[in-house]
Amino acid sequence: MKTDAAAATPSDSRRPPGKLPRPNEACWCGSGKKYKKCHQDDDAEFAKQERVQLEAHRVRPGRVSPRRPVPEHIARPDYWETGVPGRGTGRLGRTDEELVRMRRACREAARILRLAGELVKPGVTTDELDAYVHELTIQAGGYPSPLGYRGFPKSLCTSVNEVICHGIPDDRPLEDGDIVNLDVTIFLDGMHGDTNATFLCGEVDERSRQLVRVTHECMMKGIEAVKPNRPVSDIGRAIEQHAEQYGYGVVRAYCGHGIGDVFHSGLQIPHFFDAKSNTRMLPGMTFTIEPMIALGTHEETTWDDDWTAVTRDLKRAAQFEHTIVVNDVGSEILTREA
């Protein structure tokens, strides 16, 4: 089954990215005519054909293998058995000693993500990627944080094409032209390290390549916006402004989060501008920045598994993530190998 929806859809190099004009506004083509008198009907037909193609090539769930065991000697987070996480210390900032442990966890997460990404190629199943990440995590002496978290059945999140996040690894082979996000989190030395990246599988069309490139740029713009004593809304503002230059949608249903001794703390980091997000960033605070950027609408829906989030219009989405710590001048990226 071919799933290269971005390449399969009808093409028109003249069509602009982003929102189309309203009926009485000037047409995007530059003719000077009202949109309703110019390209509105053509665009409606284009959208209809595109939807048919996207429906035909949408990602569908495969078979999920049983939960993989974790050796007894591996220290586990509090939710590993019940699925219900505790509150941890409740602090948003980390002590120097905690940061030492957190750096170890984050470096290990970055290494595992890199190695898993090297396996991405046509024919490899997402379940095989999960097995690899599971084994690497245990070899490092850590626990795969997603496993059992609120009932999640796997050690890795694998989100392919229109899947925004929280995709469950299964027996579906990756196909030439896919894009796939791998989301790795390890619990090591009592701390969580969380990172993800979107990888290209085989020969990927330029439209998807640009989406992946710009999504990484959005994450870095958000990281650059981190400054002590500034509100976290600065992060979303920077991300949204960059994404909108390309007409992309910024997913609003999911956000970055505080992290440390707990996987997700109460601190939320929206990836769009939200004036109500006025928590001040202070040195020692640790959180993730992980924008999800879509070719089309930011609206999403969820599969019946209650985990897999997909774009409502079935257009592709990409994501990148780093865990960072706020310092006296800006931030430090923790999820790097060196």
Show the tokens assigned to 222.
């958000």
Average pLDDT, stretch 5-21?
Answer: 53
Q: Which CB contacts under 8 angstroms, 24+ apart, belong to 55-60?
A: 55/314, 56/8, 57/1, 57/2, 57/3, 57/4, 57/5, 57/8, 58/3, 58/5, 58/161, 58/162, 58/310, 58/314, 59/3, 59/160, 59/161, 59/162, 59/163, 59/172, 59/310, 60/172
Domain with CATH 3.90.230.10 in the chain: 102-333
Residue 21, pLDDT above cutoff 90: no
Q: pLDDT tens-digit profile of 145-169?
A: 999 999 999 999 999 999 999 999 9
Of the two residues 42 and 197, the one the predictor is more confident about is: 197
Residue the block writes with tokens 């430090």: 332
pLDDT in tens, 46-87: 777 777 787 778 999 999 999 999 999 999 999 999 999 998
**Run of H or E including 234:** helix 233-244
Nearest CA to 243 out of 274, 276, 217 is that of 217
Q: What is the pLDDT of residue 17?
A: 54
pLDDT digits (tens, 9 = 90+) for 226-245: 999 999 999 999 999 999 99
The class that CATH gives domain 102-333 is alpha beta
For residue 50, report the phi and psi dihedrals to the nearest 5 degrees: -60, -45
Pairing of strands 256-257, 268-269: antiparallel
From 155, 129, 130, 131, select the one nearest 143 (Cα to Cα): 155
C-alpha distances (whole Å) from 321 to each of 96, 175, 196, 333 are: 23, 24, 5, 10
Tally DSSP H helices, then E strands, for the chain.
6, 15
Nearest to 172 by CA among 110, 220, 130, 114: 130
